[in-house]
Structure 1
Amino acid sequence: APVAIAPAAPAPVAPEPVAEPEVEPTRTLLPAHAAADTTSAVDGAPAAASVLLDTPPVPAAAGDALVLRGVTKRFGSTHAVDGIDLTVPAGTFYGLVGPNGAGKTTTLSMIAGLLEPDRGTIHIGGVDAAAKPLAVKRLMGVLPDRLRTFDRLTGRQLLYYYGVLRKLPPAVVESRTADLARAFDLEDALGRSVSDYSAGMLKKVMLAGALIHSPRLLVLDEPFEAVDPVSSAIILDILSTYVAHGGTVILSSHGMDLVERVCTRVAVIVAGQVLAEGTVAEVRGELTLEQRFVELAGGLSDVEGLEWLHTFSD
């Protein structure tokens, strides 16, 4: 129901608290923009309630989810990222690949707002990240490279924290926590401290936290690293469903087979520059993606001089 606005009182009085809209628990994990135009980012909440949640009104997904132009980042004399241009259409699974130290993490950190570019522009959903940093952060879910979390919290407490930090009503946080725990196979782990989690479980709960507010864009740095095959399949299924309903994922990965199998488009970054970009078929040509990657990254290293490795010490 629409939120009623009381007429102005003759004297200043403290406003009565507005009751949160009654929310029916959801059982699907979809990006907010996949819902009908009459609903807000909160499942089942009327559009007028978006003001209460401090959620900016966003048009239906169309065009480009992410656009980088001339983005540059230096650390001292090192050009970590050197004038990168990228365009990520909405509703795509976009892979960012490159050798260690190529600038992938720096690029994703700038997209996520964790680093500020020295030059260039970043637009997310048509919004200038430099001009409206808080607005673009509302549109994103982020899984950083080096996971840092509050080790003394349980998994349930951590997801609750993520939800209320995104200004979701507690009832919605609890409902979505249950959905995410079931989807990520974390139901038995939510009561335990995250300090007791394995690397794979920690990655899953952090990814669940990145999804809890139903973002338009997911920025994931090595989401499958240190994750067992069963958990990888679960994560991939969730992300594929998310993209199929209009969400956008940009991820970095060293798993060329996985990128080749699931990504719509891919960019190969070497020494802070994009050397190839396009659909997976366009980038790989007649080769496999791994062969093309090795070719662009400079080929195999020279093993001459390591003949001593062919003999063994006693």
Structure 2
Amino acid sequence: MIEFKQVSKSYSSGKPKAVDNLNLSIASGQIFGFLGPNGAGKSTTIKMLVGLLSPDSGTITIDGKEMGNESLAIKRLIGYVSDEPLFYEKMTGSRHLDFISDLFAVSSAERRAKIGELALLFEMDKALHDEISSYSHGMKQKLGLMAALLHPSKLLILDEPMVGLDPKAAFLLKRAMRDYADKGNTVFFSTHGMEVAQDTCDRIGIIRKGSLLFEGTVQALAQSRGNNSETLEQLFLELTEGTVL
């Protein structure tokens, strides 16, 4: 479904690369967690994956289509929530979802049904007629998630999606991600929540200073470190910081 081949990205010459020679393949039907310290290259990778940034070298392929050559076709396959979702603040939540539905040519009947389903799921049904400017951070996060799930897609890309969500909303999102992947789609999300990643992901990737240190299952990571009893948090710190707990 997703393939990075020798992908690199720098923001200025003479400084370390934000992403350095990334090679990574992710199959359909999986939840893939992308982990790393602050500044490791997670958001840069995601922005290249959704077409907001172009790599300096290498190729990114999604569903057999190469980003750059078929960017518009790829974007129609993607539901995306950035780390800081931005909105037209004077729109109501309903108007924003209609706007997204228009962009992706979702029919009136389909959008009514899907918006109703998602509003109930995320407990936003009473807030959609209010201006987005009145929303809390958590409500804006929920609206962004609703917009990403509103149109038919094959790939859900989420940059720190749990930030700002209350425990119930986080639980509902994890369940929605699992349901989405079980239908043969792919979820790619970044997170600092090690417990979330351990409980939710089929596979994980760990990046540090732009370089991919590990890709595989949590169990494989534990075996590679020689301790199957350690938590993902402990394994992560050992791998990225050289800290043995």
- TM-score, scaled to structure 2: 0.93
1:219-298 aligned within 5 A: 219-285=157-223, 286=227, 287-298=230-241
Write the letter of the residue equivalent to 1:199: H
1:123 pairs with 61, 71, 75, which one?
61
2:80 pairs with 130, 142, 164, which one?
142
Q: Secondary structure at the match of 1:159?
A: helix
* Alignment partners' CA distance in 1, 2:198 and 2:101: 33
Q: Report what 1:62 is aligned to.
A: none
Q: Report what 1:71 is aligned to.
A: 7
Write the letter of the residue equivalent to 2:114: R
The answer to whether the Cα contact below 8 Å between 1:219 and 1:250 also exists between their aligned partners in 2 is: yes
* Alignment partners' CA distance in 1, 2:137 and 2:188: 21
The answer to whether the Cα contact below 8 Å between 1:266 and 1:283 also exists between their aligned partners in 2 is: no
Greater RCO (Cα-Cα under 8 Å, separation 6 or more): 2
**CA shift for structure 1 position 263:** 0.1
Moved more, 260-269 or 161-170: 161-170
2:114 pairs with 162, 176, 195, which one?
176
Greater helix percent: which structure? 2
* Alignment partners' CA distance in 2, 1:141 and 1:221: 11
Q: Report what 1:81 is aligned to.
A: 19
Once the two structures are superposed, residues 43-69 of structure 1 have per-residue CA deviations (whole angstroms, 9 ceiling, x without a partner) of: xxxxxxxxxxxxxxxxxxxxxx11111
**CA shift for structure 1 position 125:** 0.8
Write the letter of the residue equivalent to 1:158: H
**CA shift for structure 1 position 170:** 2.6
Backbone CA RMSD of aligned residues: 1.1
Write the letter of the residue equivalent to 1:66: I
Write the letter of the residue equivalent to 1:83: N
Q: Secondary structure at the match of 2:23?
A: strand
The answer to whether the Cα contact below 8 Å between 1:160 and 1:174 also exists between their aligned partners in 2 is: no
* Alignment partners' CA distance in 1, 2:76 and 2:85: 20
Structure with larger Rg: 1
* Alignment partners' CA distance in 2, 1:140 and 1:272: 24
Q: Report what 2:103 is aligned to.
A: 165
**CA shift for structure 1 position 174:** 2.2
Does 2:38 correspond to 1:100? yes
* Alignment partners' CA distance in 1, 2:186 and 2:105: 22
Q: Secondary structure at the match of 2:69?
A: coil
Q: Secondary structure at the match of 2:10?
A: strand
The answer to whether the Cα contact below 8 Å between 1:164 and 1:170 also exists between their aligned partners in 2 is: no
Write the letter of the residue equivalent to 1:293: F
* Alignment partners' CA distance in 2, 1:80 and 1:253: 18
* Alignment partners' CA distance in 2, 1:299 and 1:153: 48
* Alignment partners' CA distance in 1, 2:181 and 2:139: 22
Once the two structures are superposed, residues 90-132 of structure 1 have per-residue CA deviations (whole angstroms, 9 ceiling, x without a partner) of: 0000000000000000001100111111111111111111210
The answer to whether the Cα contact below 8 Å between 1:82 and 1:272 also exists between their aligned partners in 2 is: yes
> Structure 2 regions of 5+ residues with no counterpart?
none
> Structure 1 regions of 5+ residues with no counterpart?
1-64, 301-314
The answer to whether the Cα contact below 8 Å between 1:164 and 1:173 also exists between their aligned partners in 2 is: no
How many residues get paired? 236
Q: Report what 1:151 is aligned to.
A: 89
Once the two structures are superposed, residues 128-152 of structure 1 have per-residue CA deviations (whole angstroms, 9 ceiling, x without a partner) of: 1121000111111101112211111
Q: Secondary structure at the match of 2:59?
A: strand
**CA shift for structure 1 position 206:** 0.4
Identity %: 37
* Alignment partners' CA distance in 2, 1:154 and 1:112: 26
2:131 pairs with 193, 199, 213, which one?
193
**CA shift for structure 1 position 295:** 1.3
